[in-house]
Amino acid sequence: MSPTITQTIALGLIWYVAFLFSTTLHEAAHSWAALRMGDPTAYHGGQVTLNPIPHIRREPFGMVIVPILIFALSGWMVGWASAPYDPAWADRHPKRSGLMALAGPGANLLLAVVSGLVIRAGVVAGWFSATPGRTLDALVQAGGEVGSQAGGGAALAATFLSIFFLLNLILLTFNLLPLPPLDGSGAVALVLSDELAVRYRHALRHPALALAGILIAWKIFWPIFTPVLVFALRLVYPG
């Protein structure tokens, strides 16, 4: 049975809330890590905050227009945001810059772990029943005696947690790919000498490399993500 327009809009709102919070925390983590390690650029730009407005103002296309278009076309949602930093600071402290790059995916890892634990607890308690592989927004559904009694509340929570867990797992895995302009590329500095790390960073500044990196990352992502998702679901679902 096809979803109604109202159901589609409601699902889109759930996706957008999950996307907005996950992306905001990702960029806030970058900004906070940079501030703690000596670069206040993002702090002065208002990015050390869980308020999504400053992040939307910086990247309205990636945080509003693209997610809505992708959802309308495919039924799921992804986009991007960014946090400013001082390139001179990154050149002086390449290892700190590498740690700053990992802070964003680290935030998504935290959110995936927390939502995964809540899902697991809900399955054990009888709020949810596991439905892995059904759809992106139904990794779990309201089920069992407790979930049935809760009615719409359990169903809404199951949908939100399914989306939130999956989205943060996607953001974590995608951003860790060592391709420009993704965070994994910035983290490469952690395994290089300071001199080589600076030369590596400068070589990656060309816009054509960033475009090529995104295209390659999208091409190779799903074969990489599938075993990651399977592993994560085995950790989440009891038995």
Write out pLDDT tens, residues 38-68: 999 999 999 999 999 999 999 999 999 999 9
Please check whether residue 124 lies inside any domain of the structure: no
Please check whether residue 122 lies inside any domain of the structure: no
d(CA 142, CA 122): 9
pLDDT digits (tens, 9 = 90+) for 94-130: 999 999 999 999 999 999 999 999 999 988 888 888 7
Report how many domains make up the chain: 1
Please give the positions annotated as active site. Answer: 27
Q: What is the dihedral of CA 20, 41, 45, 47, to 10 degrees?
A: 20
Average pLDDT over all residues of the chain: 90
d(CA 99, CA 68): 31
Domain that holds residue 197: 5-117+130-139+154-236
**Predicted TM-score (pTM) above 0.75:** yes
Please check whether residue 145 lies inside any domain of the structure: no
Please check whether residue 147 lies inside any domain of the structure: no
pLDDT at 135: 64
pLDDT digits (tens, 9 = 90+) for 143-153: 755 555 555 78
Contact of 167 with 22, CB cutoff 8 Å: yes
